[in-house]
C-alpha cells in the first residue's frame, strides 16, 4: 500500500444518500472515519454498518464524522439507512470507483474461484488536519467501530 499514516488524505467529492455532494476537505477540523464496503444489504456490510450505528453515540460525542462508501446508488443507500436506522452518511463512488482507487480500496478480488474488480473492505481514520491517522486493511466487519474506538482510546 502506498498510502501511509501521516499522508494527506486524498480529497474527494461524492454524492450522499440524499444526492447532495460531500467534499472531504470541507470536514477539515474534525476527525473522519471513511469505510469502504462492497454492497448495501449484504451480511458483512450490514454487520459493519450496524456496529457503527451501535457505537454512534461515542462517535458523535467526540465529533467524529463517519462516512460509508460503496458503488451503490443513492436509492440503495437510502433503503439501507432506513432499514437499519443508520445515523451516518453513505456516499456513492460509481464505477470505475475513482475515490476507492485513490484509497487503494478497489481492485481485483477472488470469490469462489472467480476473479472480478470490486470494492475492498478498508477503513481509514482522518485526523482534524486532513491527514491519515489510522489504516485498517484487515477489517472484521462486526467489530470495526469497536476497534477504532479502542485505538483512539475512546471506548
Q: Which domains does the chain have, with CATH numbers?
A: 13-141 (3.40.30.10)
Q: What is the pTM of this model?
A: 0.95
Q: Tell me: the pLDDT tens digits for 80-139?
A: 999 999 999 999 999 899 999 999 999 988 888 899 889 999 999 999 999 999 999 989
Q: Tell me: the pLDDT tens digits for 36-62?
A: 999 999 999 999 999 999 999 999 999
3-state secondary structure of 97: coil
Q: Can you list the pairs that 1-5 forms with residues at least 24 positions away whose Cβ atoms lie under 8 Å?
A: 1/104, 1/135, 1/137, 2/104, 3/103, 3/104, 3/124, 3/132, 3/135, 4/132, 4/135, 5/132, 5/133, 5/134, 5/135
Residue 2: φ, ψ to 5°: -90, -25
* Catalytically annotated residue among 45, 50, 97, 143: 45
Q: How confident is the model at residue 154 (pLDDT cuts 50, 70, 90)?
A: very high
Q: Catalytic annotation on 45?
A: yes
pLDDT at residue 106, rounded to an integer: 95
Residue 155 pLDDT greater than 80, yes or no: no
The whole-angstrom separation of Cα 19 and Cα 94 is 13
Looking at every residue in the chain, the average pLDDT score rounds to 95
The whole-angstrom separation of Cα 59 and Cα 98 is 27
Residue 1 pLDDT greater than 70, yes or no: no
pLDDT at residue 112, rounded to an integer: 86
pLDDT at residue 82, rounded to an integer: 97
DSSP E strands in 24-130: the ranges are 31-36, 64-70, 89-92, 106-111, 114-119, 123-126
Residue 79 pLDDT greater than 80, yes or no: yes
Amino acid at each position: 500500500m502506498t498510502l501511509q499514516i501521516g499522508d494527506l488524505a486524498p480529497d474527494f467529492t461524492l454524492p450522499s444518500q440524499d444526492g447532495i455532494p460531500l467534499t472531504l476537505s470541507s470536514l477539515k477540523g474534525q476527525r473522519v472515519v471513511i469505510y469502504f464496503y462492497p454492497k448495501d444489504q449484504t451480511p458483512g456490510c450490514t454487520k459493519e454498518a450496524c456496529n457503527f450505528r451501535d457505537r454512534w453515540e461515542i462517535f458523535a460525542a467526540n465529533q467524529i464524522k463517519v462516512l460509508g462508501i460503496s458503488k451503490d446508488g443513492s436509492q440503495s443507500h437510502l433503503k439501507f439507512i432506513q432499514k437499519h436506522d443508520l445515523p451516518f452518511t453513505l456516499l456513492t463512488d460509481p464505477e470505475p470507483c475513482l475515490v476507492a482507487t485513490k484509497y487503494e480500496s478497489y481492485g481485483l478480488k477472488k470469490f469462489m474461484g472467480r476473479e472480478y474488480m470490486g470494492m475492498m473492505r478498508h477503513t481509514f481514520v482522518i485526523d482534524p488536519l486532513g491527514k491519515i491517522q489510522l489504516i485498517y486493511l484487515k477489517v472484521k466487519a462486526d467489530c470495526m467501530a469497536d476497534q477504532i474506538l479502542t485505538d483512539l482510546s475512546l471506548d
